[in-house]
Protein backbone atom coordinates (compact mmCIF):
# COMPACT_ATOMS: atom_id res chain seq x y z
CA UNK A 1 0.00 0.00 0.00
CA UNK A 2 1.22 3.50 -0.78
CA UNK A 3 3.08 5.13 2.13
CA UNK A 4 1.34 8.45 1.53
CA UNK A 5 -2.11 6.83 1.80
CA UNK A 6 -1.11 5.10 5.02
CA UNK A 7 0.13 8.35 6.58
CA UNK A 8 -2.87 10.34 5.37
CA UNK A 9 -5.21 7.72 6.80
CA UNK A 10 -3.42 7.57 10.15
CA UNK A 11 -2.99 11.31 10.70
CA UNK A 12 -5.94 12.82 8.90
CA UNK A 13 -3.55 15.05 6.95
CA UNK A 14 -3.62 15.72 3.24
CA UNK A 15 -0.01 15.32 2.09
CA UNK A 16 1.00 16.92 -1.18
CA UNK A 17 3.55 15.27 -3.45
CA UNK A 18 6.30 17.01 -5.36
CA UNK A 19 8.44 15.59 -8.15
CA UNK A 20 11.97 16.88 -8.73
CA UNK A 21 13.70 16.05 -12.02
CA UNK A 22 17.43 16.65 -12.35
CA UNK A 23 18.96 16.47 -15.81
CA UNK A 24 22.51 15.13 -15.65
CA UNK A 25 23.89 14.58 -19.14
CA UNK A 26 21.57 12.11 -20.86
CA UNK A 27 20.22 10.72 -17.57
CA UNK A 28 17.39 12.02 -15.41
CA UNK A 29 17.39 11.64 -11.63
CA UNK A 30 13.84 11.59 -10.26
CA UNK A 31 12.79 12.20 -6.67
CA UNK A 32 9.14 12.18 -5.53
CA UNK A 33 8.51 13.17 -1.92
CA UNK A 34 5.93 14.46 0.51
CA UNK A 35 6.28 18.22 0.27
CA UNK A 36 3.90 19.39 2.98
CA UNK A 37 0.87 18.45 5.00
CA UNK A 38 -2.38 20.38 5.27
CA UNK A 39 -3.76 20.10 8.83
CA UNK A 40 -7.53 20.15 9.38
CA UNK A 41 -8.77 23.23 11.29
CA UNK A 42 -8.08 22.96 15.03
CA UNK A 43 -5.47 20.21 14.77
CA UNK A 44 -2.25 20.93 16.64
CA UNK A 45 1.15 20.95 15.00
CA UNK A 46 3.11 17.70 15.20
CA UNK A 47 5.98 17.28 17.65
CA UNK A 48 9.35 18.05 16.15
CA UNK A 49 11.27 14.99 14.98
CA UNK A 50 14.74 14.44 16.45
CA UNK A 51 16.59 11.95 14.27
CA UNK A 52 19.61 10.09 15.62
CA UNK A 53 23.14 11.01 14.55
CA UNK A 54 23.43 7.71 12.69
CA UNK A 55 20.28 8.43 10.68
CA UNK A 56 21.54 11.88 9.70
CA UNK A 57 24.97 10.49 8.80
CA UNK A 58 23.42 7.82 6.60
CA UNK A 59 21.15 10.35 4.87
CA UNK A 60 24.09 12.70 4.24
CA UNK A 61 26.10 9.89 2.67
CA UNK A 62 23.23 8.94 0.35
CA UNK A 63 22.65 12.53 -0.76
CA UNK A 64 26.35 13.22 -1.31
CA UNK A 65 26.76 10.05 -3.38
CA UNK A 66 23.67 10.81 -5.44
CA UNK A 67 24.83 14.34 -6.21
CA UNK A 68 28.32 13.09 -7.06
CA UNK A 69 26.72 10.71 -9.58
CA UNK A 70 24.93 13.68 -11.13
CA UNK A 71 28.17 15.67 -11.41
CA UNK A 72 29.96 12.83 -13.22
CA UNK A 73 27.09 12.17 -15.62
CA UNK A 74 26.70 15.86 -16.38
CA UNK A 75 30.35 16.79 -16.96
CA UNK A 76 32.18 13.81 -18.42
CA UNK A 77 31.90 11.89 -21.67
CA UNK A 78 33.46 9.12 -23.73
CA UNK A 79 37.23 9.59 -23.95
CA UNK A 80 37.66 11.35 -20.60
CA UNK A 81 39.98 9.81 -18.02
CA UNK A 82 39.70 8.11 -14.64
CA UNK A 83 43.13 8.34 -12.99
CA UNK A 84 44.40 6.57 -9.88
CA UNK A 85 47.50 8.27 -8.46
CA UNK A 86 49.67 6.09 -6.20
CA UNK A 87 52.93 6.52 -4.28
CA UNK A 88 56.26 4.73 -4.33
CA UNK A 89 56.91 5.91 -0.76
CA UNK A 90 53.89 6.26 1.49
CA UNK A 91 53.54 9.96 2.45
CA UNK A 92 52.06 11.49 5.55
CA UNK A 93 48.45 12.64 5.37
CA UNK A 94 49.50 16.29 5.21
CA UNK A 95 52.09 15.63 2.51
CA UNK A 96 49.55 13.68 0.43
CA UNK A 97 47.20 16.66 0.54
CA UNK A 98 49.98 19.00 -0.64
CA UNK A 99 50.99 16.56 -3.40
CA UNK A 100 47.52 16.33 -4.94
CA UNK A 101 47.07 20.12 -4.79
CA UNK A 102 50.41 20.56 -6.56
CA UNK A 103 49.40 18.01 -9.21
CA UNK A 104 46.11 19.84 -9.81
CA UNK A 105 48.02 23.09 -10.42
CA UNK A 106 50.42 21.36 -12.82
CA UNK A 107 47.50 19.68 -14.57
CA UNK A 108 45.75 22.96 -15.13
CA UNK A 109 48.92 24.54 -16.46
CA UNK A 110 49.35 21.61 -18.85
CA UNK A 111 45.78 21.91 -20.17
CA UNK A 112 46.17 25.67 -20.52
CA UNK A 113 49.26 25.21 -22.68
CA UNK A 114 47.38 22.69 -24.84
CA UNK A 115 44.39 25.03 -25.16
CA UNK A 116 41.97 22.49 -23.63
CA UNK A 117 39.29 23.27 -21.03
CA UNK A 118 39.92 21.23 -17.87
CA UNK A 119 37.25 19.86 -15.58
CA UNK A 120 38.07 17.51 -12.73
CA UNK A 121 36.73 15.85 -9.59
CA UNK A 122 39.02 14.38 -6.97
CA UNK A 123 38.71 11.85 -4.12
CA UNK A 124 41.48 10.79 -1.74
CA UNK A 125 41.43 7.48 0.14
CA UNK A 126 43.36 7.55 3.40
CA UNK A 127 42.26 4.43 5.26
CA UNK A 128 42.02 1.62 2.73
CA UNK A 129 45.43 0.09 1.89
CA UNK A 130 47.97 2.82 1.04
CA UNK A 131 47.07 6.48 0.60
CA UNK A 132 46.09 7.16 -3.00
CA UNK A 133 44.05 9.62 -5.05
CA UNK A 134 41.31 9.22 -7.67
CA UNK A 135 40.62 11.88 -10.28
CA UNK A 136 38.16 12.02 -13.17
CA UNK A 137 39.30 14.60 -15.72
CA UNK A 138 38.40 15.73 -19.21
CA UNK A 139 40.39 14.25 -22.10
CA UNK A 140 42.11 16.06 -24.93
CA UNK A 141 45.67 15.78 -23.55
CA UNK A 142 47.89 12.73 -23.94
CA UNK A 143 48.23 10.41 -20.96
CA UNK A 144 52.02 10.45 -21.34
CA UNK A 145 52.09 14.20 -20.68
CA UNK A 146 49.78 13.80 -17.68
CA UNK A 147 51.85 10.99 -16.14
CA UNK A 148 55.01 13.06 -16.57
CA UNK A 149 53.78 15.68 -14.05
CA UNK A 150 53.21 13.14 -11.23
CA UNK A 151 56.74 12.38 -9.93
CA UNK A 152 55.66 10.74 -6.65
CA UNK A 153 54.64 7.33 -7.98
CA UNK A 154 52.49 5.77 -10.68
CA UNK A 155 49.28 6.72 -12.47
CA UNK A 156 46.87 4.01 -13.51
CA UNK A 157 44.44 5.22 -16.17
CA UNK A 158 41.12 4.14 -17.63
CA UNK A 159 39.01 5.81 -20.30
CA UNK A 160 35.36 6.41 -19.56
CA UNK A 161 32.92 4.29 -21.55
CA UNK A 162 30.43 5.55 -24.09
CA UNK A 163 26.98 5.28 -22.53
CA UNK A 164 27.35 8.35 -20.26
CA UNK A 165 26.12 6.74 -17.04
CA UNK A 166 28.88 6.79 -14.42
CA UNK A 167 26.90 6.08 -11.27
CA UNK A 168 28.83 2.91 -10.52
CA UNK A 169 32.11 4.80 -10.80
CA UNK A 170 30.84 7.53 -8.45
CA UNK A 171 29.79 4.93 -5.86
CA UNK A 172 33.16 3.23 -6.14
CA UNK A 173 35.07 6.49 -5.60
CA UNK A 174 33.05 7.33 -2.46
CA UNK A 175 33.21 3.85 -0.93
CA UNK A 176 35.49 4.99 1.92
CA UNK A 177 33.59 8.14 2.90
CA UNK A 178 30.33 6.19 2.95
CA UNK A 179 31.32 4.53 6.22
CA UNK A 180 34.28 6.45 7.64
CA UNK A 181 33.40 10.14 7.65
CA UNK A 182 34.38 11.85 9.87
CA UNK A 183 37.42 9.75 10.78
CA UNK A 184 40.66 10.11 12.69
CA UNK A 185 43.72 10.91 10.63
CA UNK A 186 41.71 12.42 7.76
CA UNK A 187 42.58 16.12 7.26
CA UNK A 188 39.14 17.12 6.01
CA UNK A 189 35.52 15.97 6.19
CA UNK A 190 35.11 16.73 2.50
CA UNK A 191 34.01 13.72 0.54
CA UNK A 192 35.32 15.05 -2.77
CA UNK A 193 36.59 18.18 -4.47
CA UNK A 194 35.95 19.60 -7.93
CA UNK A 195 37.22 22.37 -10.18
CA UNK A 196 35.42 25.68 -10.61
CA UNK A 197 34.72 24.74 -14.23
CA UNK A 198 32.44 21.86 -13.23
CA UNK A 199 28.89 22.59 -14.44
CA UNK A 200 26.23 21.81 -11.85
CA UNK A 201 23.10 20.03 -13.12
CA UNK A 202 19.77 21.82 -13.06
CA UNK A 203 16.71 20.59 -11.17
CA UNK A 204 13.09 21.37 -12.04
CA UNK A 205 9.89 20.40 -10.27
CA UNK A 206 6.19 19.75 -10.59
CA UNK A 207 3.37 18.66 -8.29
CA UNK A 208 2.09 15.13 -8.89
CA UNK A 209 -0.65 12.83 -7.61
CA UNK A 210 -0.45 9.64 -5.55
CA UNK A 211 -0.38 7.34 -8.57
CA UNK A 212 3.16 8.48 -9.44
CA UNK A 213 4.41 7.14 -6.11
CA UNK A 214 3.00 3.68 -6.92
CA UNK A 215 3.64 3.57 -10.68
CA UNK A 216 6.29 6.02 -11.97
CA UNK A 217 5.65 7.45 -15.41
CA UNK A 218 8.39 6.62 -17.91
CA UNK A 219 8.49 8.96 -20.96
CA UNK A 220 9.01 7.70 -24.49
CA UNK A 221 12.64 7.05 -25.34
CA UNK A 222 13.65 6.22 -21.74
CA UNK A 223 13.51 3.27 -19.39
CA UNK A 224 13.50 3.08 -15.59
CA UNK A 225 16.52 1.34 -14.08
CA UNK A 226 14.83 -0.82 -11.43
CA UNK A 227 18.08 -1.19 -9.49
CA UNK A 228 18.03 2.56 -8.81
CA UNK A 229 14.51 2.61 -7.37
CA UNK A 230 14.55 3.32 -3.66
CA UNK A 231 11.71 4.30 -1.38
CA UNK A 232 11.20 4.88 2.32
CA UNK A 233 10.67 7.53 5.00
CA UNK A 234 12.95 10.50 5.45
CA UNK A 235 14.30 10.14 9.03
CA UNK A 236 14.39 13.91 9.48
CA UNK A 237 11.01 14.99 8.06
CA UNK A 238 9.25 11.60 8.47
CA UNK A 239 7.81 12.05 4.98
CA UNK A 240 7.79 9.33 2.33
CA UNK A 241 9.92 9.50 -0.79
CA UNK A 242 10.84 7.45 -3.83
CA UNK A 243 13.92 7.93 -6.03
CA UNK A 244 14.91 6.39 -9.35
CA UNK A 245 16.91 7.11 -12.51
CA UNK A 246 15.72 7.28 -16.12
CA UNK A 247 18.20 6.15 -18.76
CA UNK A 248 17.93 6.86 -22.51
CA UNK A 249 17.22 4.10 -25.02
CA UNK A 250 19.12 6.09 -27.66
CA UNK A 251 21.75 8.88 -27.42
CA UNK A 252 19.42 11.46 -28.97
CA UNK A 253 16.58 10.84 -26.50
CA UNK A 254 15.23 13.95 -24.78
CA UNK A 255 12.57 14.65 -22.18
CA UNK A 256 10.24 17.03 -24.03
CA UNK A 257 8.40 18.31 -20.95
CA UNK A 258 11.70 19.32 -19.27
CA UNK A 259 11.63 22.94 -20.50
CA UNK A 260 8.07 23.45 -19.26
CA UNK A 261 8.84 22.54 -15.65
CA UNK A 262 9.52 25.06 -12.91
CA UNK A 263 13.10 25.54 -11.74
CA UNK A 264 13.95 24.54 -8.16
CA UNK A 265 17.51 25.83 -8.10
CA UNK A 266 18.36 29.43 -9.04
CA UNK A 267 19.94 30.14 -12.38
CA UNK A 268 23.76 30.05 -12.38
CA UNK A 269 25.21 33.27 -11.01
CA UNK A 270 26.79 35.77 -13.35
CA UNK A 271 30.28 34.33 -12.95
CA UNK A 272 29.24 30.74 -13.73
CA UNK A 273 27.16 31.82 -16.71
CA UNK A 274 30.00 33.95 -18.08
CA UNK A 275 32.50 31.12 -17.57
CA UNK A 276 30.29 28.63 -19.38
CA UNK A 277 29.75 30.97 -22.33
CA UNK A 278 33.43 32.03 -22.50
CA UNK A 279 35.19 28.76 -21.75
CA UNK A 280 38.38 29.92 -23.43
CA UNK A 281 38.96 32.41 -20.58
CA UNK A 282 39.17 29.48 -18.15
CA UNK A 283 42.66 28.96 -19.53
CA UNK A 284 43.71 32.24 -17.93
CA UNK A 285 42.17 31.64 -14.49
CA UNK A 286 44.32 31.00 -11.39
CA UNK A 287 44.35 27.44 -10.05
CA UNK A 288 41.66 26.55 -7.54
CA UNK A 289 41.25 23.36 -5.57
CA UNK A 290 37.49 23.20 -6.03
CA UNK A 291 34.60 22.94 -3.64
CA UNK A 292 32.27 20.50 -1.96
CA UNK A 293 28.66 19.45 -2.00
CA UNK A 294 27.80 17.57 1.14
CA UNK A 295 24.40 18.13 2.68
Whether 106 maps to a domain, the answer reads yes
Number of neighbouring beta carbons within 10 Å of residue 226: 8
At 227, is the secondary structure helix, strand, or coil? helix
At 210, is the secondary structure helix, strand, or coil? coil
The CATH number linked to 185 is: 3.30.70.1910
What is the pLDDT at residue 288? 42
What is the pLDDT at residue 232? 80
Question: Which range is least confidently modeled, 141-145, 147-151, 229-233, 274-278?
Answer: 274-278
Whether 116 maps to a domain, the answer reads yes
Number of neighbouring beta carbons within 10 Å of residue 42: 5
Whether the predicted pLDDT of 294 surpasses 50: no
Number of neighbouring beta carbons within 10 Å of residue 61: 17
Whether 158 maps to a domain, the answer reads yes
Whether 64 maps to a domain, the answer reads no
Question: Which range is least confidently modeled, 70-74, 128-132, 177-181, 190-194?
Answer: 177-181
Percent of the chain whose predicted confidence (pLDDT) is above 90? 34
Domain count, the chain: 1
What is the pLDDT at residue 51? 58
Range of the domain at 167: 74-197
Whether the predicted pLDDT of 295 surpasses 50: no
- The answer to pTM > 0.85 is no
Whether 261 maps to a domain, the answer reads no
Name which of 94, 140, 97, 121 is nearest 283 in CA terms.
140
Whether the predicted pLDDT of 271 surpasses 90: no
Alpha helices by DSSP H, listed for 50-166, are 53-75, 93-114, 143-148
Amino acid sequence: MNLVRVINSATGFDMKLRKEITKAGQTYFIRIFGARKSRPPGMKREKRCRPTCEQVRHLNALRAERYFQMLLNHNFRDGDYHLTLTYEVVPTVDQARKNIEKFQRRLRSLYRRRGVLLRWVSVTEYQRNRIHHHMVITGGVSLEDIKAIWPDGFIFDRRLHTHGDYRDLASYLLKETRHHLPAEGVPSNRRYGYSRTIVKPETRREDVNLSEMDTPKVPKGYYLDEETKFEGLNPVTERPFVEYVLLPLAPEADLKKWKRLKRTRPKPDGYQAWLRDHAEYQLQMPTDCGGLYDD
